[in-house]
Amino acid sequence: MPDDKRKPPSAKKPKPAPGRKPRPATDKQAGPATGPKPVPPGGAPAGVPGGDLPETVRKELAALDEQKRDGKLTAFEHAAKRKALLQGIEGQGKPKFGASPAAPAKPTGEPGAGAKETAPAAAGKKPEEADEKKPDVKLPGAWAAKEKERRAGPKTWTEGARTDDPTKRVVHPPTADGIGSGRSFLFLFGFRIHSPRDQEFLEKELKEIDDDVAVLRGAGYTVVVDPQATRKDLLEAVTGRGEGVEKLAPAGVYWSAHGSEDGSVQTCDGGFVVPDDLESDKIDPGLRLMVFASCYVGSRSRTWRKALGGRPMVVGWGRPVTIDRAVEFLQSRADTETDLDDLIRRYLLTDAPIPGEGGLAYAPVDDAASRGRLGDVPERLRTVVEMLGAKWKTEPNWVEVDVPLEDKRWEKAKVFVVESAEPYCEGEPMLAVESDVGELTAVVDPPMLLSGFGGPGYARVSLVKSGTDMPRIVVQGFLPIARARDQDLAALVYQVAQVSDRLEQRIFGGDMR
């Protein structure tokens, strides 16, 4: 057998094709370098010249290296912070680290022909644009007016034409005299007319309000039910100019429609209403109760209350809810004190004072995750996620774990390290787990929030700051990371996720985010 067949494949050299000269060896083909590659100043990644990094970044990288040497950062923390720092400056017009440098520009003239040197243009920009400052863009006032006009819904070709069917609106007179004499209550539904799914929601809710209508009429109230409510209907309702009840004080309004995170609510013709659309000085002083059966709007209840003149109680959902939970809100139940029948009984069948704004007696604290760090959580969780059958991904300051629960549901939780400040364990690193539930609103009463979670375990319910008007409900748990076994950590992660999932089911009907 010839010798060349006994050689490994890497030792064989292909023969050049006839008529072609063999390609000269490149640096990579010439073999390994004779010495180690120099490390750029500031710990720049391999293949990137130190001058390619901004001075501030080099200093921050050097500070991270020093903290690691001093034992202030673990290897996992150092790697995560370094990665986040370098990723933060990619995509700013420079090539990604490790990429081949761009080829030099061709000269514009012959050497010595008087060609002038020009400063290199910023990456991704033309030379004349390199140092240009982007002008401040101010939107014309007419654009803002157009946005406000768009909120009103679709335009009509005929002056005075309507986008709803006025014959759908029903005004029910009172069946007896009582506390509601001279007052009105309006059930307004802003579900989109041409959406079959929205109309299904509407039908389910309409079936549940007959008992509320009867109770209000028996107390002297004139009750309006409008399944096709527009922006105009809402604005007129809160100012005491509602169609059919113009001379009556609006004691309460129930508005059911889709809501958005900014606090806006949709109307039946595709328009929407935001708190800024209201003129607070024109709100009827007799308005006592404003119920928004809309997702998210409860988290902006203080903004809506201010827009409504600061007097009425504003109730709504802090997060998205299922239609089943929305229907339950309209049903009379003995296990809660915050459904619609409870609100009507408490604030419309008596002259009980409306709770003031006041605020919380104790201000919520920052959530633990905002003070957390990654530490060696990824290493500690490797066995735990296998025990739970969970999914996970590493973020700069925590690990997000998606935990499988009963009934094929999943719940996300953040896992991180935080130092304790409590007595007898001050400064001790704790493994923390935190899962988000949603904003606290008037729909959530203490039994709903706390009952059923008093058994021995690792999870607890807390209120923390949020980016909305209302504090946020979270479920937390903490264990000393140095003394906790894998089984303890698995129990902590699972119990926090389980309690969070149960609260979401109880308050919002499920995790609708």
Q: Is 349 exposed, middle or buried (0-12, 13-18, 19+ CB in 10 A)?
A: middle
Which tens digit of pLDDT belongs to each residue from 221-233? 999 999 999 999 9
Rounded alpha-carbon distances, angstroms, from residue 483 to 117, 123, 380, 431, 458: 66, 52, 12, 10, 15
CB 295 within 8 A of CB 259: yes
Q: Is 178 exposed, middle or buried (0-12, 13-18, 19+ CB in 10 A)?
A: middle
* Edge-first strand listing for the sheet containing 472-480: 391-394, 399-404, 410-419, 429-439, 472-480, 460-464
CA gap 118, 54 in Å, rounded: 22
CA gap 489, 142 in Å, rounded: 58
Please state whether the predicted TM-score (pTM) of the whole model is above 0.85: no
Summary mean pLDDT of the chain: 78
Q: Which two tokens stand for residue 160?
A: 């005075």
Which tens digit of pLDDT belongs to each residue from 257-292? 999 989 999 999 999 999 999 999 999 999 999 999
Residues in the chain: 513
Q: Which two tokens stand for residue 78?
A: 């150092």
Q: Which two tokens stand for residue 33?
A: 């370098």
Which residue matches tokens 């006025």?
Answer: 166
Which tens digit of pLDDT belongs to each residue from 75-130? 766 777 787 777 655 444 444 433 434 444 444 444 443 333 433 333 444 444 44
* Higher pLDDT, residue 371 or 488: 488
| Mean pLDDT of the region 22-45 | 46
| Mean pLDDT of the region 41-46 | 47
